Amino acid sequence: MTIKKGKVLMAMSGGIDSTVSAMLLLEQGYELVGVTFRTYDSIKESCLAKEKGCCSIDSIMEAKRMCEKLGFEHHILDFRQTFKDHVICNFMDEYMQGRTPNPCVLCNSSIKWGKLLDMADEFGCSHIATGHYAQVIHENGHWFLGNAVDAQKDQTYFLWMLTEQNLSRTLFPLGEFTKQEVRKMALDRGFEKLSQKTESQEICFIPDNDYRHFLSDNVTDFSQQCQPGDFVNTKGEIIGRHQGFPNYTVGQRKGLGVAFGTPKYVIGIDAAKNRVILGDRDELFSTNLRATGCRFTSVDMLANNNRVLARIRYKSAPTEATVEFDGRVATLVFKEPVWGITPGQSVVLYQNDRVIGGGFIA
The single residue of 54, 67, 104, 107 carrying the catalytic annotation is 107
Q: Which residue range(s) make up the domain with 261?
A: 227-279
Same-domain status, 141 and 247: no
Q: What is the DSSP letter of 4?
A: P
72 and 34 fall within a common domain = yes
Q: Tell me the torsion sign for CA atoms 289, 292, 293, 295.
A: positive
Give, in order, the Cα–Cα distances in Å from 36 to each of 19, 69, 123, 161, 307. 12, 16, 14, 21, 40
pLDDT at 55: 63
306 within some domain: yes
Residues 119, 105 within the same domain: yes
Give the model's pLDDT for residue 67: 97
**What is the predicted pLDDT for the residue at 54?**
57
Q: Does a structural domain hold residue 70?
A: yes
Same domain, 37 and 182: yes
Shared domain for 173 and 64, answered yes or no, is: yes
Number of folded domains that form the chain: 3
In a domain, residue 212? The reply is no
CA pair distance 235, 238, nearest whole angstrom: 9
Asked if 54 is an active-site residue, the reply is no
Candidates 54, 55, 125, 204; catalytic one = 204
pLDDT at 1 > cutoff 50: no
Tell me the pLDDT band of 42, cut-offs 50, 70 and 90. low
Calpha distance 355→210 (Å, rounded):
31
- Residue 214 counted as domain residue: no
Model confidence over 116-171: pLDDT tens digits? Answer: 999 999 999 999 999 999 999 999 888 999 999 999 999 999 999 999 999 999 99
pLDDT value, residue 57: 84
Confidence grade of residue 259 (pLDDT, cut at 50, 70, 90): confident
Computed over every residue of the chain, the mean pLDDT equals 92
What is the predicted pLDDT for the residue at 188?
97
55 is catalytic: no
Quick one: pLDDT at residue 75? 96
Confidence of residue 2 (pLDDT cuts 50, 70, 90): low
Average pLDDT score over residue span 200-226 = 90
Q: Which of 279, 306, 323 is the last residue of a domain?
A: 279
